[in-house]
Structure 1
């Protein structure tokens, strides 16, 4: 039972960190990159991504 709770806490913490990273990054730029990937032409405007 203890291990289930521990895994649950770890998953939540990872999810929160990923969410905060997404919020920190420019969401508009990410959306543009995703659309470029969908079209098939990958143009890296930001080398960090």
Structure 2
């Protein structure tokens, strides 16, 4: 069963929980959809790369 958990704090997309799996990330302060999590991880990775 798919249950609405909340709204992504960055982009406003609905975040769901299905069969115990959250379709995103919640760290206690911020709820993010999986696309924003992926974008955030990519941005952190790119800032660590030196050119």
**TM-score higher than 0.5:** no
- Bigger radius of gyration among the two: 1
- Give the structure with the higher percent strand: 2
- Give the structure with the higher percent helix: 1
TM superposition score normalised by structure 1: 0.41
- Greater relative contact order (Cα 8 A, min sep 6): structure 1 or 2? 2
TM superposition score normalised by structure 2: 0.40
